[in-house]
Structure 1
Amino acid sequence: MLAAVHPKLPMRNKAATKAFYLDQLGFKELGDFGNYLIVARDNVEIHFFEFKTLDPKENYGQVYIRTHSIDQLYQSFLDNNTPIHPNGPLQIKPWGQKEFSILDPDSNLLTFGQGVNSLPA
């Protein structure tokens, strides 16, 4: 019955959010509806709603995004000077995922992961 999930995250400044996701992370814009923005990359779609008074230090928005090419994705972000979260460099976690994390301009945490069993030998 369920087909997909598209997280909704807060944004303070649409121009900054759009620039980060499109220019830094390689997403494409699917729709700009004033105080609502939709971006996508491959099979991942993220929606943003305007929250001008958001305090980034109190934002707990988080998304876990699975990938089939964790090493390539990580390197592409490094090549594009995308800041990696200081506590989230690429590493294998005890729960069997190789992952890394970044923060967007509003401190939404994006964690990218790939199962250790699906890594190339």
Structure 2
Amino acid sequence: MLTDINPKLPMRDKSVTREFYLNRLGFKEFGSADFDGYLMIEKDQIQIHFFEFKELNPKENYGQVYIRTDNIEEFYKSLLDKQTEIHPNGKLETKPWGQREFALLDPDNNLLTFGQNI
């Protein structure tokens, strides 16, 4: 029955969030309408949606998304080539639970963890 999931994360500034995801992570905007206070992006087979939360304190934001990939090495290298900051505790490594993972924070402190089965 269930076919997909599109997480919704908070953002303080739509233009900052758009720039980060499009230029740093290689996403593109999804849809033909530009909704005030709402942003939809996609890359390959996934979408992430954002809602405006201007009063968000990034230090109190615990938004998190786990994104699976089938070529983590190439994606990680592409981010490093764009000088995208990787989380200090989230460098690419093999985890004891059988995943190769890395993590980064977006401008609003949403944690994005990328993983691939090994």
Same fold (TM over 0.5): yes
2:54 is aligned to 52
C-alpha displacement of 1:43: 0.5
Q: How many residues are matched?
A: 116
- 1:11-32 Cα deviation digits (max 9, x unpaired): 0000000000000000000143
C-alpha displacement of 1:8: 0.1
Q: How far, CA to CA, are the matches of 2:53 and 2:95 in structure 1?
A: 33
- Calculate the TM-score normalised by the size of structure 1: 0.94
1:25 aligns with 2:25: yes
2:72 is aligned to 70
Give the AA of the match of 2:78: S
Q: How far, CA to CA, are the matches of 1:97 and 1:33 in structure 2?
A: 37
1:119 is aligned to none
2:8 is aligned to 8
1:104 is aligned to 106
C-alpha displacement of 1:83: 0.2
Q: How far, CA to CA, are the matches of 2:95 and 2:59 in structure 1?
A: 25
Q: How far, CA to CA, are the matches of 2:72 and 2:8 in structure 1?
A: 23
Q: How far, CA to CA, are the matches of 1:44 and 1:94 in structure 2?
A: 26
Gaps spanning 5+ residues in structure 2: where? none
1:34 is aligned to 36
C-alpha displacement of 1:94: 1.0
Q: How far, CA to CA, are the matches of 2:35 and 2:62 in structure 1?
A: 24
RMSD: 0.6
Counting aligned pairs with the same residue, the percent is 64
Gaps spanning 5+ residues in structure 1: where? 117-121
- Calculate the TM-score normalised by the size of structure 2: 0.97
Give the AA of the match of 2:22: L
SS at the partner of 1:106? Answer: coil
